[in-house]
Amino acid sequence: MKALIGNINRYALHDGPGIRSTVFLKGCTLHCPWCHNPELISPEPEVAFYPERCITCGDCQAICPQEAIHLESEHRIDRNHCNGCGLCVKSCPSGALILVGREYELEELVEILLRDRLFYERSGGGVTLSGGEPTQQLLFISALLERLHHEGIHTIIETNGLFSYEQFASACLNQLDLIFFDLKLSDSDQHRQVIGYDNRVILANLSRLLESRAEDVIVRIPVIPGYTASPENIDQIGQFLRQQKVLRYSLLPYHPYGLVKAEAIGVTPDQTLPRQAMDQSELLPWQGFFYDMELMST
Protein backbone atom coordinates (compact mmCIF):
# COMPACT_ATOMS: atom_id res chain seq x y z
CA MET A 1 0.00 0.00 0.00
CA LYS A 2 1.34 3.41 -0.97
CA ALA A 3 0.65 7.05 -0.27
CA LEU A 4 1.80 10.21 -1.93
CA ILE A 5 3.69 12.22 0.64
CA GLY A 6 5.00 15.73 0.28
CA ASN A 7 7.34 15.82 3.25
CA ILE A 8 8.14 14.26 6.58
CA ASN A 9 9.08 16.84 9.17
CA ARG A 10 11.00 15.21 11.97
CA TYR A 11 11.47 17.02 15.29
CA ALA A 12 8.24 18.96 14.85
CA LEU A 13 7.34 20.88 18.01
CA HIS A 14 4.25 22.71 16.79
CA ASP A 15 2.00 19.85 15.76
CA GLY A 16 0.97 18.59 19.16
CA PRO A 17 2.68 17.69 22.44
CA GLY A 18 6.37 16.77 22.63
CA ILE A 19 8.80 16.07 19.85
CA ARG A 20 6.93 14.67 16.84
CA SER A 21 7.28 13.60 13.27
CA THR A 22 4.71 15.21 11.04
CA VAL A 23 3.75 13.45 7.81
CA PHE A 24 2.44 15.79 5.15
CA LEU A 25 0.18 13.87 2.80
CA LYS A 26 -0.37 15.33 -0.62
CA GLY A 27 -3.81 16.26 -1.96
CA CYS A 28 -6.47 18.51 -0.49
CA THR A 29 -10.14 19.16 -1.23
CA LEU A 30 -10.09 22.77 -0.13
CA HIS A 31 -8.30 25.68 -1.72
CA CYS A 32 -7.65 28.25 0.98
CA PRO A 33 -5.89 31.29 -0.47
CA TRP A 34 -3.61 31.49 2.60
CA CYS A 35 -2.69 27.79 2.53
CA HIS A 36 0.61 27.13 4.34
CA ASN A 37 1.38 24.24 2.06
CA PRO A 38 0.08 25.13 -1.40
CA GLU A 39 2.45 22.57 -2.92
CA LEU A 40 0.42 19.88 -1.17
CA ILE A 41 -2.97 20.80 -2.62
CA SER A 42 -2.65 18.86 -5.86
CA PRO A 43 -2.89 15.06 -5.49
CA GLU A 44 -0.13 14.61 -8.08
CA PRO A 45 3.65 15.03 -7.82
CA GLU A 46 4.84 18.49 -8.82
CA VAL A 47 8.20 20.03 -9.56
CA ALA A 48 9.12 23.09 -7.54
CA PHE A 49 11.67 25.55 -8.91
CA TYR A 50 13.93 27.72 -6.74
CA PRO A 51 15.60 30.18 -9.13
CA GLU A 52 18.25 31.43 -6.67
CA ARG A 53 19.92 28.00 -6.71
CA CYS A 54 19.88 27.56 -10.52
CA ILE A 55 23.23 27.65 -12.33
CA THR A 56 21.51 27.52 -15.76
CA CYS A 57 23.44 24.45 -16.85
CA GLY A 58 20.52 23.29 -19.00
CA ASP A 59 20.60 19.61 -18.01
CA CYS A 60 16.91 19.77 -17.07
CA GLN A 61 15.87 21.13 -20.44
CA ALA A 62 17.89 18.46 -22.19
CA ILE A 63 16.40 15.59 -20.27
CA CYS A 64 12.72 16.61 -20.16
CA PRO A 65 10.69 14.18 -22.34
CA GLN A 66 7.73 16.58 -22.35
CA GLU A 67 9.79 19.55 -23.55
CA ALA A 68 8.22 21.42 -20.65
CA ILE A 69 11.37 23.21 -19.50
CA HIS A 70 12.57 26.44 -21.03
CA LEU A 71 15.76 27.94 -19.70
CA GLU A 72 14.89 31.37 -21.01
CA SER A 73 11.54 31.44 -19.21
CA GLU A 74 11.51 33.02 -15.79
CA HIS A 75 9.39 30.26 -14.27
CA ARG A 76 11.34 27.61 -16.14
CA ILE A 77 8.57 25.03 -16.20
CA ASP A 78 5.58 25.03 -18.51
CA ARG A 79 3.04 23.64 -16.09
CA ASN A 80 0.62 22.69 -18.86
CA HIS A 81 3.11 20.18 -20.20
CA CYS A 82 4.92 19.01 -17.06
CA ASN A 83 3.66 15.62 -15.89
CA GLY A 84 5.73 15.53 -12.72
CA CYS A 85 7.88 12.61 -13.83
CA GLY A 86 10.86 14.06 -11.91
CA LEU A 87 13.62 13.26 -14.42
CA CYS A 88 14.73 16.89 -14.39
CA VAL A 89 14.95 16.84 -10.58
CA LYS A 90 17.27 13.84 -10.67
CA SER A 91 19.51 15.56 -13.19
CA CYS A 92 19.57 18.97 -11.52
CA PRO A 93 22.98 19.27 -9.83
CA SER A 94 22.27 22.32 -7.72
CA GLY A 95 19.00 21.40 -6.06
CA ALA A 96 17.11 24.20 -7.83
CA LEU A 97 14.45 21.68 -8.88
CA ILE A 98 12.73 19.73 -6.14
CA LEU A 99 10.11 17.03 -6.59
CA VAL A 100 7.19 17.60 -4.26
CA GLY A 101 5.38 14.34 -3.67
CA ARG A 102 6.89 10.88 -3.49
CA GLU A 103 5.17 7.57 -3.04
CA TYR A 104 6.00 5.74 0.16
CA GLU A 105 5.21 2.15 0.92
CA LEU A 106 3.49 1.76 4.27
CA GLU A 107 6.31 -0.20 5.86
CA GLU A 108 8.93 2.19 4.55
CA LEU A 109 7.12 5.10 6.14
CA VAL A 110 6.58 3.26 9.41
CA GLU A 111 10.28 2.41 9.54
CA ILE A 112 11.23 6.08 9.09
CA LEU A 113 8.74 7.24 11.71
CA LEU A 114 9.96 4.68 14.24
CA ARG A 115 13.55 5.90 13.93
CA ASP A 116 12.66 8.76 16.24
CA ARG A 117 10.84 6.64 18.78
CA LEU A 118 13.34 7.60 21.52
CA PHE A 119 12.65 11.27 20.90
CA TYR A 120 8.87 10.70 21.13
CA GLU A 121 9.21 8.68 24.32
CA ARG A 122 11.49 11.16 26.08
CA SER A 123 9.24 14.11 25.29
CA GLY A 124 5.72 12.68 25.26
CA GLY A 125 5.58 13.23 21.51
CA GLY A 126 4.57 11.04 18.58
CA VAL A 127 3.39 11.23 15.00
CA THR A 128 1.08 13.83 13.45
CA LEU A 129 -0.64 13.36 10.10
CA SER A 130 -1.07 16.58 8.21
CA GLY A 131 -1.26 17.72 4.64
CA GLY A 132 -2.84 18.47 2.30
CA GLU A 133 -5.75 16.68 3.77
CA PRO A 134 -4.74 13.31 5.19
CA THR A 135 -8.25 11.85 4.99
CA GLN A 136 -7.96 12.02 1.21
CA GLN A 137 -5.78 8.92 1.49
CA LEU A 138 -8.02 7.28 4.07
CA LEU A 139 -7.17 3.64 3.48
CA PHE A 140 -3.49 4.35 3.80
CA ILE A 141 -3.72 6.43 6.94
CA SER A 142 -6.02 3.84 8.44
CA ALA A 143 -3.35 1.19 7.99
CA LEU A 144 -0.60 3.60 9.08
CA LEU A 145 -2.39 4.62 12.26
CA GLU A 146 -3.06 1.01 13.12
CA ARG A 147 0.63 0.18 12.78
CA LEU A 148 1.63 3.20 14.87
CA HIS A 149 -0.97 2.47 17.48
CA HIS A 150 0.28 -1.07 17.69
CA GLU A 151 3.79 0.30 18.30
CA GLY A 152 2.46 2.46 21.11
CA ILE A 153 3.11 5.73 19.30
CA HIS A 154 0.91 8.72 20.17
CA THR A 155 -0.99 9.87 17.08
CA ILE A 156 -2.66 13.06 15.91
CA ILE A 157 -4.46 14.05 12.74
CA GLU A 158 -4.77 17.59 11.45
CA THR A 159 -7.87 17.74 9.28
CA ASN A 160 -9.96 20.29 7.41
CA GLY A 161 -13.04 18.31 8.44
CA LEU A 162 -14.31 17.57 4.96
CA PHE A 163 -14.80 13.83 4.91
CA SER A 164 -17.44 11.16 5.15
CA TYR A 165 -17.93 10.74 8.86
CA GLU A 166 -18.77 7.03 8.77
CA GLN A 167 -15.74 6.21 6.69
CA PHE A 168 -13.46 8.36 8.80
CA ALA A 169 -14.78 6.96 12.05
CA SER A 170 -14.47 3.35 11.04
CA ALA A 171 -11.10 3.82 9.36
CA CYS A 172 -9.14 5.65 11.99
CA LEU A 173 -10.97 7.24 14.87
CA ASN A 174 -10.01 4.54 17.36
CA GLN A 175 -6.32 4.83 16.49
CA LEU A 176 -6.16 8.59 16.98
CA ASP A 177 -5.16 10.14 20.29
CA LEU A 178 -5.95 13.71 19.31
CA ILE A 179 -7.79 15.41 16.47
CA PHE A 180 -6.87 18.90 15.35
CA PHE A 181 -9.94 20.13 13.51
CA ASP A 182 -9.73 23.34 11.49
CA LEU A 183 -12.57 25.88 11.29
CA LYS A 184 -12.02 28.84 9.04
CA LEU A 185 -15.18 30.69 8.08
CA SER A 186 -18.50 30.41 9.84
CA ASP A 187 -20.60 31.77 6.99
CA SER A 188 -21.32 28.96 4.60
CA ASP A 189 -21.63 31.14 1.50
CA GLN A 190 -18.41 32.93 2.22
CA HIS A 191 -16.80 29.56 2.84
CA ARG A 192 -17.89 28.39 -0.59
CA GLN A 193 -16.74 31.56 -2.31
CA VAL A 194 -13.32 31.69 -0.70
CA ILE A 195 -12.43 28.04 -0.26
CA GLY A 196 -14.49 26.19 -2.83
CA TYR A 197 -16.92 24.24 -0.66
CA ASP A 198 -19.55 25.25 1.81
CA ASN A 199 -18.99 24.32 5.42
CA ARG A 200 -22.09 22.29 6.27
CA VAL A 201 -20.41 18.90 6.15
CA ILE A 202 -17.49 20.23 8.12
CA LEU A 203 -19.64 21.61 10.90
CA ALA A 204 -21.74 18.46 11.03
CA ASN A 205 -18.62 16.32 11.23
CA LEU A 206 -17.30 18.40 14.08
CA SER A 207 -20.57 18.00 15.97
CA ARG A 208 -20.50 14.26 15.59
CA LEU A 209 -16.86 14.00 16.60
CA LEU A 210 -17.56 15.97 19.73
CA GLU A 211 -20.34 13.58 20.72
CA SER A 212 -17.88 10.77 21.24
CA ARG A 213 -14.47 12.40 21.57
CA ALA A 214 -14.95 15.89 23.01
CA GLU A 215 -11.88 15.46 25.23
CA ASP A 216 -9.63 14.78 22.29
CA VAL A 217 -10.74 17.43 19.83
CA ILE A 218 -8.90 20.69 19.51
CA VAL A 219 -10.48 23.19 17.14
CA ARG A 220 -7.95 25.34 15.34
CA ILE A 221 -8.85 28.69 13.81
CA PRO A 222 -6.38 30.32 11.44
CA VAL A 223 -6.40 34.10 11.91
CA ILE A 224 -5.99 35.44 8.39
CA PRO A 225 -6.10 39.19 7.68
CA GLY A 226 -8.81 39.97 5.11
CA TYR A 227 -10.41 36.54 5.40
CA THR A 228 -11.04 34.97 8.78
CA ALA A 229 -9.81 37.81 10.97
CA SER A 230 -13.07 39.69 11.34
CA PRO A 231 -14.97 40.15 14.61
CA GLU A 232 -18.16 38.75 13.05
CA ASN A 233 -16.52 35.59 11.81
CA ILE A 234 -14.54 34.89 14.96
CA ASP A 235 -17.52 35.70 17.16
CA GLN A 236 -19.74 33.29 15.22
CA ILE A 237 -17.15 30.56 15.40
CA GLY A 238 -16.91 31.20 19.13
CA GLN A 239 -20.67 30.87 19.51
CA PHE A 240 -20.75 27.70 17.48
CA LEU A 241 -18.03 26.15 19.57
CA ARG A 242 -19.87 27.14 22.72
CA GLN A 243 -23.08 25.51 21.49
CA GLN A 244 -21.12 22.39 20.68
CA LYS A 245 -19.44 22.43 24.07
CA VAL A 246 -15.98 22.46 22.59
CA LEU A 247 -13.42 22.27 25.38
CA ARG A 248 -10.17 23.26 23.71
CA TYR A 249 -9.23 25.54 20.87
CA SER A 250 -6.20 27.13 19.36
CA LEU A 251 -5.58 30.18 17.18
CA LEU A 252 -3.09 29.92 14.35
CA PRO A 253 -1.36 33.21 13.53
CA TYR A 254 -1.07 34.09 9.85
CA HIS A 255 2.30 33.35 8.25
CA PRO A 256 3.26 34.16 4.65
CA TYR A 257 5.30 30.95 4.43
CA GLY A 258 3.02 29.53 1.74
CA LEU A 259 3.47 32.42 -0.68
CA VAL A 260 7.06 31.55 -1.65
CA LYS A 261 6.17 27.90 -2.00
CA ALA A 262 3.22 28.79 -4.25
CA GLU A 263 5.52 30.71 -6.55
CA ALA A 264 7.92 27.78 -6.67
CA ILE A 265 5.21 25.54 -8.14
CA GLY A 266 4.13 28.20 -10.59
CA VAL A 267 1.04 29.42 -8.75
CA THR A 268 0.49 33.14 -8.39
CA PRO A 269 -0.28 33.75 -4.73
CA ASP A 270 -3.17 35.84 -3.47
CA GLN A 271 -1.91 39.40 -3.74
CA THR A 272 -4.11 40.69 -0.92
CA LEU A 273 -2.26 38.63 1.70
CA PRO A 274 0.38 40.48 3.72
CA ARG A 275 4.05 39.52 3.34
CA GLN A 276 4.54 39.97 7.06
CA ALA A 277 4.00 37.23 9.60
CA MET A 278 1.56 37.89 12.41
CA ASP A 279 3.02 38.19 15.87
CA GLN A 280 1.73 35.93 18.65
CA SER A 281 0.69 39.06 20.52
CA GLU A 282 -1.70 40.01 17.70
CA LEU A 283 -3.76 36.96 18.64
CA LEU A 284 -4.58 38.33 22.07
CA PRO A 285 -7.65 40.40 21.04
CA TRP A 286 -9.18 37.37 19.34
CA GLN A 287 -8.82 35.16 22.37
CA GLY A 288 -11.61 37.07 24.14
CA PHE A 289 -14.17 35.36 21.92
CA PHE A 290 -13.23 32.02 23.44
CA TYR A 291 -13.02 33.12 27.09
CA ASP A 292 -14.73 29.98 28.39
CA MET A 293 -12.56 27.48 26.51
CA GLU A 294 -9.08 26.20 27.14
CA LEU A 295 -6.47 27.73 24.89
CA MET A 296 -4.02 25.19 23.55
CA SER A 297 -0.76 26.54 22.33
CA THR A 298 0.59 24.56 19.42
Partner 1 sequence: MTSITLDDIGLKDFTLQTLPRLKELRSQYFSRRPEICIERARYITKYLRYHDNASDSPEIRQAKKVSYFLHRKSAQFHDRNLIAGSTTSKALGAPLFPEFFALTLWPELETVSDRKKNPQKLTHEEATELNLDIFPFWMDKNVLELTRTRFSNPKCLQLFENLVFFIAAKAGCISHAVPAYSFMLEHGLSGMIAMAAEREEALAAATDKKERQQADFFRAVQISLQGIIAHATQLADEAEHLARVTNNSEDAAELIEMAAICRRVPAGPATTFREAINAIWICQVGIHAENINMAMSPGRLDQILYPYYRRDIAEGRLDIARAIELTGCLWLKIADNVTMVPEASEELFGGAGTVPAITIGGVDANGEDAVNDLTYIMLRVTELLTIRDPNVNARYDYEKNSSAYCRRLAEATLNTKSVPAFFNDKANITALTGQGETLEHARDYAVIGCVELASSGRDYPASSSIMMNLAAPLEMALFQGKRPITGEEQIGPVTPDPSELASFEDFWQVFKTQLDWLIEQAIQLNDYMGAVHQEMMPSPLLSALFIGPMDKGKDLIQGGALYNSSGATHIAFADVVDSLNAIEQTVFVEKKYTFNDLLEQVRNNFSGLEGEKVRLYLQNHTPKYGTEAPIARKNSRNLVQHLFNLYQSHTNYRGGPYRPSYWTMTNHAGLGGISGALPHGRKAGKVFSSGMTPVSGAAPELTACLNAVAELGGELVPGCWALNIKYTPEADVTTMSEYFAQTIEAYFRAGGQQVQFNIMTYKMLLDAKKHPENYPELMVRVSGYSAYFKDLNEMMKDELITRTQYGLTDGQAVPLPPLQ
Binding residues (CB under 8 A) for partner 1: these are 9-14, 18-19, 55, 57, 59, 90, 93-95, 112, 115-116, 118-119, 121-123
Nearest CB to partner 1, comparing residues 50 and 197? 50
Could you tell me the smallest distance in angstroms from the CB atom of residue 53 to partner 1? 9
Distance from C-alpha of 40 to C-alpha of 164, rounded to nearest angstrom: 21
**Cβ neighbours of residue 296 closer than 8 Å, sequence gap 6 or more:** 218, 248, 249, 250
Distance from C-alpha of 65 to C-alpha of 85, rounded to nearest angstrom: 9
Nearest CB to partner 1, comparing residues 21 and 228? 21
**Cβ neighbours of residue 115 closer than 8 Å, sequence gap 6 or more:** none
Strand, coil or helix: what is 14? coil
Tell me if 129 sits within 8 A of 157, measured CB to CB.
yes
Q: How many helices (H) and strands (E) does the chain have?
A: 11, 11
If we measure between CA atoms, which residue out of 158, 165, 113 comes closest to residue 16? 158
Going by their DSSP bridges, the two strands 97-100 and 46-49 should be labelled as antiparallel
